[in-house]
Amino acid sequence: MSTTTGPESPDALLGPADIRELAAALGVRPTKQKGQNFVIDANTVRRIVRTAEVRPEDVVVEVGPGLGSLTLALLEAADRVTAVEIDDVLAAALPATIAARMPQRKDRFALVHSDAMHVEELPGPPPTALVANLPYNVAVPVLLHMLERFPTIERTLVMVQAEVADRLAAKPGNKVYGVPSVKANWYAEVKRAGAIGRNVFWPAPNVDSGLVSLVRRTEPLPTTASRQEVFAVVDAAFAQRRKTLRAALATWAGSPAAAEEALVKAGISPQARGESLTVEEFARIAENKPGNKAEATA
């Protein structure tokens, strides 16, 4: 009897030799251009699934599944998995890998062959979790797009470059706190969830990796401003980090005086800088933009 079909069988997951064999058969060489670094360690993908707290009822969406290392581990734990893959060769090969290594779960797997930034809908039930080893060069925009587009995603765990992980999880006042920190916090409570060594990847990247956990807010941020309005303030505030908010928001508000007026109404010092503000404070500024409907009716 084969040992590769049981969902708990370690042989169902891909090891270093399996990854290289698959890649060779497909003529795949990981490319820096696509930010590809394949995870070759089964213990690491199981750790990611555990850290993500994937439940038997979860519908997981994975971005950038590559050769399927994490996909197989997710299929062991979740009700179903939808993988979004941009690469033609990898997308074509993944269903066969799932069928060969976990045949009893293949009907629980769906593939979307697309750029994740262009995905507007997914097949099957709405996703409840996002778990992914995100390509480093597009990690933040992909993460924010998926959170915005799929509000049913309650829990997210992404593996990203350590520096990006630090930025996403940074709190106000931290020197790496910036646009990704604030925008991620609009959707979720964000925290670092561990570090990943370089030797679990092929090829080994020349940067460290980190896990970031995002648990979606149970209630949306209490504000009359829209997401777009708040994000416009965030973008303006950090476009010129060293400037005071009075100066940084001048173009956004129409003039330095108008920016100062909006800041004072929001209860924020015009001399403050963007890196000291919470997402709630950015929302208050957006509400008080001169000419804003919310401000006009206040």
Tens of pLDDT, residues 236-272? 999 988 899 999 999 999 999 999 999 999 999 999 9
pLDDT band (50, 70, 90) for residue 34: low
Kindly tell me if the per-residue pLDDT of 296 is higher than 50. Answer: no
**Long-range Cβ pairs for the range 102-108 (8 Å, 24+):** 102/5, 102/7, 102/12, 102/72, 102/75, 102/76, 103/5, 104/5, 104/7, 105/7, 105/75, 105/76, 108/75, 108/78, 108/79, 108/80, 108/81
pLDDT band (50, 70, 90) for residue 135: confident
Kindly tell me if the per-residue pLDDT of 37 is higher than 90. Answer: no
Beta strands in the chain (DSSP E): 38-39, 59-63, 80-85, 109-113, 129-133, 155-161, 188-196, 201-202, 209-216
Task: Name residue 207's beta-bridge partners.
Answer: none
pTM of the model as a whole? 0.91
Q: What is the pLDDT of residue 293?
A: 53
Kindly tell me if the per-residue pLDDT of 124 is higher than 80. Answer: yes
In this predicted model, what pLDDT tens digit does every residue of 151-173 receive, in sequence order? 999 999 999 999 999 999 999 99
Provide the mean pLDDT of the chain. Answer: 92
